[in-house]
Amino acid sequence: MSAPLTGFTVTSATLGALASTEPSADGTRLVRDIRRSKRLVLLRGVLDAAPGGRAGEAADHWALLEEAERHDPDAVRDVLHYPATGVWAEETLRRLYAPYGPPADLGHLGALAAAAALRSGIAFKATLRPVHGRLVLPTLGLLRPARPGPLALTERCWDPEDPAALVLHSLPGGRTALDDLDPYRAPGPAQPGPVRPARRLTPKGHKRWDTQWSGALTLLDRYDTARAEEIGLLLRSVVPLGGGSRSSGATLPAAAGSVLARTQAPPALAATLVHEVQHGKLTALADVLTLHTADRTPRHWAPWRADPRPLEGLLHGAYAHLALAGYWQRAALYGARGAWAQHARIRAQVAAVLPALHRHPQLTTAGKEFTAAMAVAERAMDDLPPPGDQHAVARRAVDRERRDWCAQHPELAPFAEG
């Protein structure tokens, strides 16, 4: 784990608030500031590494961005900090410095500039080259020109009613987009994984998502208003998962502010959102604070996974599940069916790994403080326990699972001790 960004101070109070997973104004502000800073560093890196640098075509696109920003800073900021922009920036930097492989898509910087200019309302002229017959305009949608070749754009080029335009779908109740259009909504084959974004959805697919999203937000507002507000502030887009994906949800570091999710019933979608937003928070924190120095060797037991996990994966999993335990506890207190069982099971899983996590020799001082605060948050759940002996039963079940796992992985048994 590295901390590439400098200039940030994380107080003990803010670190403790983030470690608890409970939403806080300071924690949310820090996460958003880190994301913005990292994005600007990436974009400046692209500009500096582009052929011709600040004197080439990329510089012209950047100048248009700056002009648009003078007229409407918020609109331009939304384009530049849109999650898919981060995926493009990281991939472009990697390709610019790679001696072999596909060329960098520097034309996309022009698409960002055009989208920013359109949203700011300024007059402009730009000529861009569609890719595979499509020209994406981040945060707006994409154009499908009738003829091949370069496309001359002006402030009148975007009309959502034009059949040549595909508009980015907005989910009900806020500023979150359902992104099934942007080619950079998820990393490409260079970063394989168990997730695959869906193709463009049908109107029926969009309506299904609207219904499930509205239902999930209703549940979040009802059970855990603070987490509902946090999700609204930290989540800019949701990318539908396609067939073949082996997960109900995922968060990709390059796409800060985005979650990939499968269509699912509102209670499951609400839990997925709570879970995945925590990964984004912890990823941002790790960009400015080194929590551990361990490598990526998978050797640790995680009760929510069958396979051994590296320390980084164990930390992320425990953090996200701690938030889920808190969410289901609140849902249970509200009377949600089955919520106490969910809470007891997930809390028992987190409690089973926190001691080994906190004792890990490669945690930094900040990492020890962070995991200690996680343990405090877990123990605080004793104030509102589930009825009967549900928690004790869940802990015994998790202990049995630990013993079974150790029997299957005897060489890793020392890394599964509670």
Give the span between the Cα atoms of 380 and 101, in whole angstroms.
52
Evaluate whether 260 touches 280 at the Cβ level (below 8 Å).
Answer: no
Mean pLDDT of 284-301: 96
Residue 187's closest CA among 92, 281, 267, 252? 252
What's the pLDDT at 99?
A: 80
What's the pLDDT at 56?
A: 80
Q: Which residues lie below 8 Å from residue 126, measured CB to CB, with a gap of 6+?
A: 61, 64, 110, 113, 114, 117, 152, 153
Domain that holds residue 368: 290-418
What's the pLDDT at 195?
A: 75
Please count the residues of the chain. Answer: 418
pLDDT at 302 over 70: yes
Alpha carbons within 13 A on the beta-carbon side of 83: 28
pLDDT at 193 over 60: no
Inside any domain, residue 365: yes
Inside any domain, residue 23: no
Mean pLDDT of 81-96: 96
Evaluate whether 138 touches 182 at the Cβ level (below 8 Å).
Answer: yes
Structure tokens at 415: 């890394």
Inside any domain, residue 348: yes
pLDDT at 316 over 90: yes
What's the pLDDT at 191?
A: 45
Q: Which residue has the higher pLDDT, 196 or 165?
A: 165
**Taking the alpha carbons of 41, 46, 155, 70 in that order, is the dihedral positive or negative?**
positive
Beta strand pairing call for 258-261 and 177-178: unpaired
Evaluate whether 242 touches 193 at the Cβ level (below 8 Å).
Answer: no
What's the pLDDT at 190?
A: 42
Mean pLDDT of 229-237: 97
Residue 173's pLDDT band (boundaries 50, 70, 90)? confident
Inside any domain, residue 406: yes
Structure tokens at 23: 């939403």
Q: pLDDT tens-digit profile of 326-345?
A: 999 999 999 999 999 999 99
What's 81's DSSP letter? T
What's the pLDDT at 167?
A: 97
Structure tokens at 233: 């502030």
What's the pLDDT at 256?
A: 95
Give the span between the Cα atoms of 87 and 185, in whole angstroms.
7
Structure tokens at 49: 């590494």
Evaluate whether 274 touches 328 at the Cβ level (below 8 Å).
Answer: no
Q: pLDDT tens-digit profile of 126-139?
A: 999 999 999 999 99
Chain-centre distance of CA 72, in angstroms? 26
Q: 250 has which bridge partners?
A: 260
Residue 189's pLDDT band (boundaries 50, 70, 90)? low
DSSP labels for 333-359? HHT-TTHHHHHHHHHHHHHHHHHHHHH
Q: pLDDT tens-digit profile of 8-64?
A: 999 999 999 999 999 999 999 999 999 999 999 999 999 999 887 665 889 999 999
The structural domain count of the chain equals 1
Residue 243's pLDDT band (boundaries 50, 70, 90)? confident
**What does pLDDT average to over the chain?**
93
Mean pLDDT of 168-183: 94
Inside any domain, residue 340: yes
Structure tokens at 97: 């410095």
Write down the residue that tokens 């590296």 correspond to: 310
Evaluate whether 9 touches 29 at the Cβ level (below 8 Å).
Answer: no
Inside any domain, residue 230: no
What's the pLDDT at 5?
A: 82
What's the pLDDT at 414?
A: 85
Q: pLDDT tens-digit profile of 106-120?
A: 999 999 999 999 999
Percentage of residues in the chain having pLDDT higher than 70: 96
Inside any domain, residue 310: yes
Percentage of residues in the chain having pLDDT higher than 90: 86
Inside any domain, residue 382: yes
Q: pLDDT tens-digit profile of 379-406?
A: 999 999 999 999 999 999 999 999 999 9
- CA–CA distances in Å: residue 359 to residues 12, 114, 292, 368, 413: 20, 51, 12, 8, 15
Q: Which residues lie below 8 Å from residue 161, measured CB to CB, with a gap of 6+?
A: none
pLDDT at 274 over 60: yes
pTM of the predicted structure, to 2 decimals: 0.94
Mean pLDDT of 181-204: 81
Beta strand pairing call for 177-178 and 237-240: parallel
What's the pLDDT at 123?
A: 97
